[in-house]
């Protein structure tokens, strides 16, 4: 099972990593409050003191850990501090929601198959931070959203869920972004729910959903 490393008792503890506005974080908060994700949203980790996610966490009563990269001499020390916070809060699952840093091998190995990410394109197409713009500029007729497990490579781990959308002639980069976000806010909570309920099984590059 994808959550085979889950050793906790009772409710699973989730940490969200975010660097920006936190709209996906907000969707996760709503899903937890509604009870569709039966887990504890225990921690927000951010590297940005101006992140919009901070206000969302405070309003939801989610514990915050500020870990700024510039406070550490290297990436290893930075991620060791992150792992300290994860262990202190007994985190079982990490959810990346606009965290603008590539995670190192130490963290990805420690939490193998326990880190999820959402990407605004149909991987393996249009990797990287400008995926919506890249798909639009390329003239793609179809794009979408991917939720996947995270490994040490960018936008590379096994795919959990994907949903496509058609890029219409009348679309602009802004309207396409709005469409993508609407899908993200539904697809990400669904993937997290499947993980928490133990319904995901990783088989090499494939993720099987167990009914």
Q: What are the catalytic residues?
A: 119
Q: How many whole angstroms from its chain centre is CA 177?
A: 17
Distance of alpha carbon 67 from alpha carbon 70, whole angstroms: 9
Residues 96, 130: contact at Cβ < 8 Å? no
């Amino acid at each position: 099972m994808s959550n085979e490393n889950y050793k906790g008792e009772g409710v699973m503890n989730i940490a969200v990593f975010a660097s920006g506005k936190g709209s996906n974080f907000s969707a996760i908060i709503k899903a937890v409050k509604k009870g569709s994700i039966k887990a504890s949203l225990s921690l927000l980790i951010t590297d940005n003191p101006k992140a919009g996610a901070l206000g969302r966490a405070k309003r939801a009563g989610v514990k915050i850990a500020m870990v700024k990269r510039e406070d550490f001499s290297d990436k290893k020390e930075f991620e060791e501090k992150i792992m300290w916070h994860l262990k202190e809060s007994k985190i079982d699952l990490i959810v990346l929601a606009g965290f603008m840093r590539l995670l190192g091998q130490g963290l990805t190995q420690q939490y193998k198959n326990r880190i999820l990410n959402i990407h605004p394109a149909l991987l393996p197409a249009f990797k990287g931070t400008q995926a919506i713009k890249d798909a639009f500029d390329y003239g793609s007729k179809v794009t979408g959203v991917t939720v996947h497990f995270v490994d040490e490579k960018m936008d590379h781990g096994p795919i959990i869920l994907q949903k496509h959308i058609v890029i219409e002639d009348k679309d602009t980069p802004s309207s396409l972004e709005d469409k993508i976000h609407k899908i993200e806010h539904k697809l990400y909570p669904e993937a997290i729910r499947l993980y928490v309920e133990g319904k995901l099984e990783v088989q090499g590059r494939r993720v099987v959903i167990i009914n």
